Amino acid sequence: MSKVYLVGAGPGDPKLITLRGIELLKTCDMVIYDRLASYELLNYLKDGCKKVFVGKEAGNHYKTQEEINKIIVESAYKYEKVVRLKGGDPFVFGRGGEEIEELNKHGIPFEVIPGVTSAISVPASVGIPVTHRGVSRSFHVITGHTKSSENTLTDNYEVLGKLDGTLVFLMGLSNLKNITDKLMENGKDKKTPAAVISNGTMNNEKTVRGTLSDIAVKVKEEGIKSPAIIVVGDTAAFNFTSIDTKPLSNVKIGITGTGVMYNKLESGLHRLGARVYSICNMKIEETPFIYQLEEELQRIDKYQWIIFTSQNAINIFFDKMEKYQVDRRKLNQIKFAVIGSGTKQTLQKYGYFADFMPNIYTTKNLADEFSKVVFKNEKVLIPRALRGSQELTMTFEDNNIEYKEIPIYDVKGELTENKEYISEMDCLVFLSASGVNAFFEEIHKNNIQLPNGIKIACIGEVTVNEVKENNYNADIIASISNIDGLIDKIKNYIWEK
C-alpha cells in the first residue's frame, strides 16, 4: 500500500539530515520538496524518481498550502513511496500537521521522520547557544508572521517582552523592524543583544550581530536575505566558534560534476576547511546506442580485452550484465584495462582486478602504452562516454588494433541553485570535459560572468584542453588524475598563495 513520509531535511547543510531521511530518499518513488531543503539532497534519489518542487517564500508563493496538500494526496495514489521533504523539522512551523490532517481525511498511511530544527542548529552553527547556565534557562521559538498574513505579527509581544530566556524568530526577516520595535515597546531593553543569521549551516551563511535598537539597520546595510533566523537575548552576544587554521579555511570552491564525484571531492575539501558548492550538477544518461552493449554482452567471450576510461562506464557495464542476466563466468578469460586509480578501484568493487593501467593517468598514455601490450588479433571492447576523447581510437587505428567502441552514456549538466554565488567563488573545479562544456553553455545562457581572478582546477589534460577551448586557462591541474591528486593540488596551490 502507498505511504507518505514527512521527512525533516534539517536546517540546510545536507549532512544534517538523519540517516533515516537519507534511506528514504534513496528508495522513494517520488519526492515533493521546498526551497529550504538543500539541493544536494536530491543527489540521493534513484534513477526515475519523480521530483516536484513546491517551494514557498515570503511574498512569492510558488504553491499554496492547499495546492501542496492536493499534490501530496494525488501522489500517494500514483506512487508506492512518497517523500515530502521539508526544511528543518516537519512540526516546527513546517505545517506538517496540516498535511497530515489532509492525509488522514483520505485514509493514507504516513510516517514522520523528525529533522534538526533551524531554531536551535542555526544559532549553534555561529556559536550562539540558545541556553547557557546563569544566562538563559529557557528558549522560545516564535513565528515571524502569522497564518492570516505573511506580514502580520504575533499578538503576544506583551508576554514576549517580559521573558528572560532566548527568543528565536523563524521566517521573520521582512518583519525585523516591527519585531524589534514591539519588543522594546513591551519592556525589552534596547541594549539586549540580537543576531540575524542568513542561510544558516550553509556555505553562504552570514551573521549580523547588534542590539535590539540597531540590528534592523545593520541587517539592511549588509543586504541580508531570507531564509534567516532572528535571535534575541543575552546569549546572542556569545560567539562559541573555534579559530580555523585549516589550509583552505573559508576558501569558496564551486564544483561541476556528477553527484558521486561531487560527494567525494566535497568531503576531502571540506576537511581542509573549504566552503564547497555544487555549481553545475552533471547527470548520467544512457544513449540510444546502449542496445549495442546488450548485443555485445551476449557474445562477450569473443573479446580478449575490455577498456574502461571512466567509473560511470564500469557501473553501467555491470548493471547491464545483471539486467540482461549475463553469466559473469563469461568474463573469466577477458582482461581489463583502466585509465587510472579511480577506475581501478571501481572495477575492484565488482570483484575484478585491472590487468593494465598506464603509468600516467591520461587518455594519451593509455592509448600509447596499451598499444604495446595488446597482441595481434586480440579484440578490444570500449564501452564509454558519447563524447570521449578520439585520441584513444585514433591511436588504435594507427596500430591496427581491432576494437569495438560503444558510446553507452552521455553526461549532461545544469546549473544548481548555487549559481547566484558564482561571483563569490575563489576557485572552480571541473571533473570532466563534458562538465566544462555544460558549465560554460549554462553560464552563457544565464548571462553569468566569471569574477576576475577566479582560479580554475582540472582533474586531467582532456579537461584542461576543454577549458582552453572556452577561452580560459587552468591554474591547477592534478598531477595524478584522481580526486585525491586534485585535492592535493588545490590545497598546495591555494596554501602557497
- Which of the residues are catalytic? 34, 56, 171
Under DSSP, is residue 243 helix (H, G, I), strand (E, B) or coil?
coil
CA distance 421 to 446: 13
Positive/negative CA dihedral, 326, 328, 330, 333: positive
Place of cell 521546498: 34
**CA 100 distance to own-chain centroid:** 28
Between CA 265 and CA 110 the distance in angstroms is 36
Give the number of other CB atoms < 10 A from CB of residue 140.
Answer: 16
Q: Cα–Cα distance between 344 and 346 in angstroms, integer?
A: 6
Per-residue HEC secondary structure of 86-117 comes to ECECCCCCCCHHHHHHHHHHCCCCEEEECCCC
Peptide bond between residue 227 and the one before it cis (omega within 30 degrees of 0): yes
Q: How many CA atoms lie within 13 A of 218 on its CB side?
A: 17
What DSSP line would sit under 352-378, residue for residue?
---SB--SS-SHHHHHHHHHTTSPTT-
Q: What are phi and psi of 23, to 5 degrees?
A: -60, -45
DSSP 132: B
Beta strands in 19-173 (DSSP E): 30-33, 50-53, 56-57, 60-61, 81-86, 110-113, 139-143, 166-170
